[in-house]
Amino acid sequence: MDKALDFTIKNKIPGTLARTGTITTPHGVIQTPAYIGAATAATMKTLTNAEIDELGAQSILSNTYHLMLRPGANLIAAAGGIHQFMNYHKPLYTDSGGFQVFSLGMAYKKGLDATSHTTKGSSENAVMSPDQLSKVEKDGVWFKSHLNGDRIFMSPEISMELQHKIGADIHMSFDQLTSPLSGREQIKEAMDTTHAWAKRGLIRHEELNQQHVAAGENLQALFGVVQGAREEDFRLESAGFLGELTLETGAQFDGFGIGGTFQPEELPDVLTWVNGTLPENKPRHLLGMGAQPADLFLGAEFGCDTFDCVAPTRQARNGALYTYGGRINIKNLKFAEDFQPIDQNCDCYTCQHHTRAYLRHLFKANETTGLVLASIHNERFVVRTVEEIRQKINAGPEQFWQYKKEFLTDYYGAERAADFLATSPEEWR
């Protein structure tokens, strides 16, 4: 390809931001909306690439923070890039690591108590208190490795260099996370920092892409990350700034990520502010969407083209399994002699070959196979749900609204589903 990314819109639902389309990358095409599987450390936990392909995943996302710590970006580059390193040949995303820099420290859990700020440049002599796991400076962030406590510096330029060495198709710009406990002043400060870092990262990204061109290598794409928490004016400002950001060379972001942590009920407002402002002709990725199926419907309805989440495999490893009648805990005693599949309407390998009783036995016996089979089921459930959402949008508005109502009512029950159906046309609530 002579471009890092190409995005085409196929169908829309009138009166909404919902759309279907295609994202074309050097490693293949993603039909959107699409769920992007979380392969944080260059693997989707407990699953092989063959299993990932069989469950229908179109793409996966790895994390720069984790990969820079081990095995290291230089080693991945020496292997020929992440596609060669993990022998995965479909489109690949990398997150910048910005979320992990903060979320793995107390800065995320306890507001800004564990994070200090300074307008000075980066310094190897930056002082961090014993319980402080991250320190924001003008040039970037000092943080402590969650593996061994080493002090590490990350800047937007370093994040870009690491991501280009890793060599995924689509990268995320380095941003500053805000704690759920942050006030407006702290949110504004973090957003302004994110914008400054976004421009610096885009400059370095373009320089690195020019090196790829000279070497006859694939171009790599970069998404700017919109911040602003739950504040409408900040979200509008962030989406407007990043959507319009253009370097003197004409370089712009290839798409956009939407950062933040939300409850499903908050998604309609936040996504309307952001996706109603961002350029329509570029893809939008909802970063780390929540752990509920409602997020999939609301994300698609309000203009997100792709979304990633670690919840399906994480919950599977804890025995929490999705069914079309709601989530179940397979470790419960009532499943000990239940010889049905996890869900009779599921087409995954696990449901076609094994029973609830067998899964429960594996979990109670601490057998790794149980984690594998549970992960296959949860991942297929989410991938298939988004496939259905995409098909229904293509089939027309009534098909989508009907599917949304039926799915969410079956999954949550009528009373809880009503909260998520409030954004549907009145006849489909």
Q: State the catalytic residues.
A: 95, 308
* Lookup: tokens for 234: 């900040």
* Lookup: tokens for 361: 């036995």
How far is the C-alpha of 383 from the C-alpha of 362, rounded, in Å?
Answer: 24
Q: Which residues contact 115 (CB under 8 A, 6 or more apart)?
A: 102, 105, 107, 132, 133, 134, 135, 136
User: Where does residue 249 rank: exposed (0-12), middle (13-18), buried (19+ CB within 10 A)?
Assistant: exposed
Contact 58, 30 (CB under 8 A): yes
| Percentages of the chain per state (helix, strand, coil), in multiples of 5 | 45, 15, 40
Q: Which residues contact 234 (CB under 8 A, 6 or more apart)?
A: 184, 187, 188, 191, 227, 228
CA dihedral angle for residue 321, residue 261, residue 300, residue 59, rounded to 10 degrees: -70
Provide the pairing of β-strand 19-25 with 28-32.
antiparallel
Provide long-range contacts, Cβ within 8 A and 24+ apart, for 344-351. Answer: 346/377, 346/380, 346/381, 346/384, 347/380, 347/384, 348/55, 348/376, 348/377, 348/380, 348/381, 349/51, 349/54, 349/55, 349/373, 349/376, 349/380, 350/374, 350/376, 350/377, 350/380, 351/377
Q: Establish how many alpha carbons lie within 13 A of residue 182's alpha carbon, considering only the half-sphere containing its beta carbon.
A: 25
How far is the C-alpha of 36 from the C-alpha of 284, rounded, in Å?
Answer: 12
Amino acid at 238: S
How far is the C-alpha of 323 from the C-alpha of 346, rounded, in Å?
Answer: 8
How far is the C-alpha of 234 from the C-alpha of 187, rounded, in Å?
Answer: 8
- 19 beta partners: 12
Other CB atoms within 10 A of residue 231 CB: 18
How far is the C-alpha of 91 from the C-alpha of 170, rounded, in Å?
Answer: 8
Contact 89, 83 (CB under 8 A): yes
